[in-house]
Homo-oligomer: A and B are copies of this chain.
Amino acid sequence: MSNGTKTTGKKRGNLAQAATLREKVQSKENKIIRAAYEIFVARGYAKTTISDVASKAEVAEGTVYLYFNNKHALAVAVLAAFYQRLTAGARHGVASRASTEDRLSFLAEHHLQTIIKERRLMEMLASLDRDIDNYEGSEIYKMNRAYVAVFDRVLRDGVERDDIDGSISQWVLRDMFFGALDYAMRTMLIKKSRRNSIDQVVSDLVRMIVISDREAAMTMDKRLSNAAMRIERAAARMEKIASVTK
């Protein structure tokens, strides 16, 4: 129940046959998910009927309920596939980039581009689990955690490298990042803009999170520490002189 997808009881322990059978079941499940995805994306959650999904998947309504406990579970399955793609894309992009700035820019653009393309799924995300109270532990929560973890790691690395101001709490930065992108998506869809705006949001956002004046700060640091060292040495010498002179 906590996991809405049903595991159709299929225990027969036979050889090649079993594999084929399971594949058959898999493929039917996928067929339903794919059909559901298309209709959800086209019409949104509320306006999608199970009978639409069933006929698109070429099964009877009842069959859908053999694979998913209810409409909600079906939606969660569709969203799980979505998160899979999203997270995989994010991980891959981050892995192939070195600097904090590049990584954040990539994550921002990747997120924005994806949620624009599949905005209906984002709406579903909003209308499904918003029952906050028992949100922790939900399927969607876990998937979201896994995705956000990619960002969190980049952030933590960034703070360690002094690319990001460590005095601002990370969860606020996270909410700011994704919140901004989410809202920006809506703004961009309402107005007709597009390409330009994506670049703008991404660069503005990254600019606010990353400390770009770092270099200047570093050399300043060096100067100060050098100066301090020299003063200490000079002081030591003066002490020696003074003690001798005395």
**A interface residues, Cβ below 8 angstroms from B:** 44, 46, 119, 123, 126-127, 130-132, 135-136, 141, 168-169, 171-176, 178-184, 186-187, 189-190, 200-201, 204-205, 207-208, 216-217, 220-221, 223-228, 230-232, 234-235, 237-239, 241-242, 245-246
Contacts and interface: CB of A to CB of B under 8 A. Distances in A.
Contact of A178 (B183, B227, B232): B183
Nearest to A231: B227
A202 B208 CA distance: 16
B238 A231 contact: yes
A237 B244 CA distance: 12
A186 to B, nearest CB: 7
B225 A220 contact: yes
A216 B221 contact: yes
A182 B179 contact: yes
Q: Which of A131, A179, A216, A241 has the most CB of B within 10 A?
A: A179
A112 B132 CA distance: 16
B169 A200 contact: yes
Q: Which of A169, A216, A228, A232 has the most CB of B within 10 A?
A: A228
Contact of A230 (B175, B179, B181, B239): B239
A136 B192 CA distance: 11
A159 to B, nearest CB: 14
A132 B207 CA distance: 29
Contacts of A171: 184, 187
Contacts of A135: 190
A137 to B, nearest CB: 10
A231 B229 CA distance: 10
B224 A234 contact: no
Pairs of residues from A and B, 6 with the lowest C-beta to C-beta distance, nearest first:
A179-B179, A175-B183, A179-B183, A234-B238, A176-B180, A227-B231
Q: Which of A119, A187, A189, A204 has the most CB of B within 10 A?
A: A204
